[in-house]
Structure 1
């Protein structure tokens, strides 16, 4: 994949160890049919990426990140808006609103039309050397009910996290 090294650097700099794959794991999923790793450009310069899973009934944005030098310039919003125009239902995970950054991130997604769903959820560990991470699910264009949440969680666990 073109620009993979630059994307990997942004990925590594943007997510805590517990919330990301190892390099080997990431390389292994690049050829999965349902998975896409997409660069984000601004004025012909790579500024970030987003990684998504097409899970039939919804699109799961597993990761999205903008290089620190280009944050707060509208690149992330533009990328999310482009995704929204292509898919009817979108799911993503966010940290619980326990820190300033987590609260800001949730508000960012809310401004783009996402809804916070307050159901207990844990992102399974990516491997045996990591811990699971308590997170929350956000959905677009509507909140999801408890039954929908269970379906989303089960699909994520099975198809993305392989548990």
Structure 2
């Protein structure tokens, strides 16, 4: 059974999470370590969850509890455990834990990997919103990334799109 356990940087498993974050996401798709650690330990809206299957560490997910919805920021499984259903298990555990709307960002479907990722989230019950969405840079001098949002927990986000985008921009990326 897959379990999500919230951890802080003092947890012995945090190094596993941080290493997996570094190996799974390029530097432009994550904040610097000091800021990430600060959010993990001090931001009441931000949660870092270790995903385990019994005693095996399988991955992690970071989550923001925002104004009326949840934003899943990073999700990764250990490279040696990929393609074994753990990613889907993490998403299902997240959906069981978070009742309501869950939002996440995905690359636009421009190559095989981005198409596969979108289809993975579709199989997990998410819908693709193709409205123009630009991810602000995580770092000073960084590049913006053209992405799409995906969502679950509601039939559509059309009426809430601007509010959701503004909330993510303001709380997660600290811009507006």
Please classify the TM superposition score into its range, dividing by the shorter chain length.
over 0.9
Q: Structure 1 runs of 4+ off > 3 angstroms?
A: none
How far apart, CA to CA, are the structure 1 residues paired with 2:125 and 2:165? 21
TM-score, length basis structure 1:
0.95
Paired position in structure 2 for 1:15: 25
- Given candidates 72, 76, 91, the residue that maps to 1:61 is 72
TM-score, length basis structure 2:
0.88
Paired position in structure 2 for 1:26: 36
8 A Cα contact 1:124 1:131, kept in partner: yes
CA deviations over 1:21-66 (Å, ceiling 9, x no partner) = 1111111211200100000112311121000000031010001001
8 A Cα contact 1:93 1:138, kept in partner: yes
How far apart, CA to CA, are the structure 2 residues paired with 1:129 and 1:7? 26
Q: Indicate whether 1:85 and 2:96 are aligned.
A: yes
**Aligned alpha-carbon RMSD (Å):** 1.1
Helix, strand or coil at the partner of 1:156:
helix
8 A Cα contact 1:35 1:51, kept in partner: yes
How many equivalent residue pairs?
A: 162
Unpaired segments ≥5 residues, structure 1: none
8 A Cα contact 1:116 1:143, kept in partner: no
